[in-house]
Amino acid sequence: MGAVIYEGDGGGRCNCRFQNNYPYAIGPRIGVAYQINSKTVFRAGSALSYGTSANNAFLSYSVPDFYTVAPRGFGDKATQLSQGNPYAPGNVFGNAPTIWPDFSPHYPTQVAPGVIPPQSPFISIDRNAGRPGRIFQWSFGLQRELTKSIVVEASYVGNRGVWWTAPTLATQNYNALQLTDLPKFGLNPNNPADLALLTTPINSPAVLARFPQFANPNAVYAGFPNTQNLNQALSPYPQWGRGVPPFLGPPLGSTWYDSLQAKVTKRYSHGLDVAGAFTWQKELVNGTNSDTGFFTPGTVLINDAFNHDSLKQVSALSRPLMLVISFTYTTPRFKADSAGLKAVSWLARDWALGGVLRY
């Protein structure tokens, strides 16, 4: 409720953990191949794989963005907050240790014993921010030998991804007033007049007619300004601003991938090896394509933040059609009768020339 707490167990701690680590990133995979006849093979496979946890634009290194423990002086040893606050009043101010949460006033520049308030707009980290994205992928296709040196194949390749970082899904704001909360206060989320009332100060006649309790200056809490809007007064934590999201790492994003992948391979003959691969693919995302709101390589459109299922869209990073042609040519040796020509043949043979064309 606006005070500072410390994770861990025992006195002065919350008997809780702020973060949840996901320990089950196990990636099994299986593949099968069946020879239909001497020139045709059916192949299929599936697997679970995991990505890395998001780097969150490395904002976790920006210590001034967070509540910072204030050391007593240069050379003071490092500590772990899970063991409690080493700079509690008994150590810093000569007072008895305080039991958390603590709302009592302390040294003027601090919000709690030994804790300096944020130096910039507050940033919070989702409790599941370290969860790695998971992909379930599968494929099946046919491989056919046309001639002794030419093989063609066609496959369906798809995957489904979950738990990708999705900082733009704003309904995870810790202090958001959800549409489903409005009926609890007698407001209709489908009534424009009720929605307009949310952005009206609580001291206005229109709000007081519906919420007469706000005529009491301490109805929200002592000192709450009556010029604040109704949506702030009804927020889960009215003492905090409404923009306190789990800005870093909410693993709410999903991805979908489906493709036809065709390939022609001319196996090595006469020194030449050629392959051509064509992919026709569709890539969809929901909330992902960005690590944080700062670095967004592919903008995700949020049309209705309260209805996540409606946000499925084509990825801004999608490449629906791709063609890759590659070749390798190895220079041959040639017959030589004289010593001079043998030397030239030795120098010219077995050079590999390669190229890749990508469209």
30-68 pLDDT per residue, tens: 999 999 999 999 999 999 999 887 776 666 555 444 555
* CB-based burial label for 106 (10 Å; 0-12, 13-18, 19+): middle
CB contact set of 108 (below 8 Å; sequence gap of 6+): none
**In a 3-state reduction of DSSP, which class is residue 296?**
coil
pLDDT tens-digit readout, 138-194:
999 999 999 988 999 999 999 999 999 887 775 556 677 888 889 999 999 999 999
Count of residues in the chain: 359
Stronger pLDDT, 4 or 92, i.e. the higher one: 4
Strand pairing report for 150-164 and 253-269: antiparallel
- Choose among 114, 136, 174: nearest CA to 48: 136
DSSP for 210-277, please give it: H-GGGGSTTSSSTT--TTSBHHHHTSSSTTS-S-----B----EEEEEEEEEEEEEEEEETTEEEEEE
Confirm whether 13 is domain-assigned.
yes
Same domain, 268 and 348: yes
| 164 and 187 together in one domain | no
pTM for this prediction:
0.73
Residues 273, 338: one domain? Answer: yes
Q: Residue 215: what are its φ and ψ, rounded to 5°?
A: -65, -25
Residues 21 and 43 in one domain: no
Number of domains in the chain: 3
DSSP label at 36? E
282 and 339 share one domain? yes
- What was the pLDDT predicted at 94? 43
What contacts 104, CB < 8 A, 6 or more positions away? 98
**Helix, strand, coil shares of the chain as percentages rounded to 5?**
15, 30, 55
CA distance 354 to 351: 10
Residue 123, pLDDT score: 64
Task: Name the one residue in this structure whose structure tokens are 């890759």.
Answer: 324
pLDDT for position 249: 77
Mean pLDDT value across residues 309-317: 90
SS3 call for 180: helix
**Domain residues for 345?**
38-55+131-169+248-359
100 and 4 within one domain: yes
- What number is the average pLDDT over the span 80-109? 52
Of 320, 322, 319, the residue nearest 357 (C-alpha): 322
Whether the per-residue pLDDT at 89 is higher than 90: the answer is no
Q: Is residue 122 part of a domain?
A: no
- Last residue in a domain, options 79, 95, 117: 117
Assigned domain for 123 exists:
no
Whether 192 maps to a domain, the answer reads yes
Handedness of CA 115, 121, 122, 124 (dihedral sign): negative
Element (H or E) spanning 340, and its range? helix 339-348
Distance of alpha carbon 6 from alpha carbon 243, whole angstroms = 23
Q: Is residue 74 part of a domain?
A: yes
* pLDDT classification of 228: cutoffs 50, 70, 90: very high
* Continuous segment of H or E residues that includes residue 90: helix 89-92
Give whole-number Cα distances, 17 to 7, 45, 182, in Å. Answer: 5, 39, 31
Does residue 62 form part of some domain? Answer: no
Q: Provide mean pLDDT across the span 304-331.
A: 90
pLDDT at 234 over 80: yes
Taking all residues of the chain, what is their mean pLDDT, rounded to a whole number?
81
Residue type, 339: A
- Lowest mean pLDDT, pick from 2-6, 125-129, 336-340: 2-6
> How many angstroms separate the CA atoms of 303 and 169, rounded?
10
Same-domain pairing of 142 and 3 = no
Claim to verify: residue 224 and residue 259 sit in the same structural domain:
no
CA angle 134, 137, 142 (to 5 degrees): 170
The predicted structure's pLDDT at residue 93 = 44
Cα dihedral 166/171/173/176 (nearest 10): 170
Q: What is the pLDDT of residue 237?
A: 81
Q: What residue ranges in 82-217 does DSSP mark as E strands?
A: 115-116, 134-145, 150-164
* Residue 129: closest CA among 250, 308, 278, 286: 250
Does some domain include residue 241? no
148 and 282 in a single domain? The answer is yes
Q: Looking at the structure, do residues 150 and 283 belong to the same domain, yes or no? A: yes
Give the model confidence (pLDDT) of 123-140 as tens digits. Answer: 667 788 878 999 999 999
| pLDDT reading at 226 higher than 80 | yes
Q: Are residues 334 and 276 in the same domain?
A: yes
Is the same domain home to 191 and 223?
A: yes
Q: Is position 267 within any domain? A: yes
- Tokens coding 197: 């009332």
